[in-house]
Amino acid sequence: MDTTAASVDDVKALVVEVLGLQDRAATLSASTGLLGSLPELDSMAVVALVTELEERFGITVDEADISAETFETIGTLAAFVDEHRA
Q: Which domain holds residue 9?
A: 5-85
Residue 20: CATH number of its domain: 1.10.1200.10
How far apart CA 70 and CA 35 sit, in angstroms, is 9
Whole-prediction pTM: 0.89
Query: Taking the chain, what is the end-to-end CA distance rounded to the nearest angstrom?
Result: 12
Domain count, the chain: 1
- Cβ proximity of 52 and 12 under 8 Å: no
For the stretch 3-59, pLDDT in tens is 555 699 999 999 999 999 999 999 999 999 999 999 999 999 999 999 999 999 999
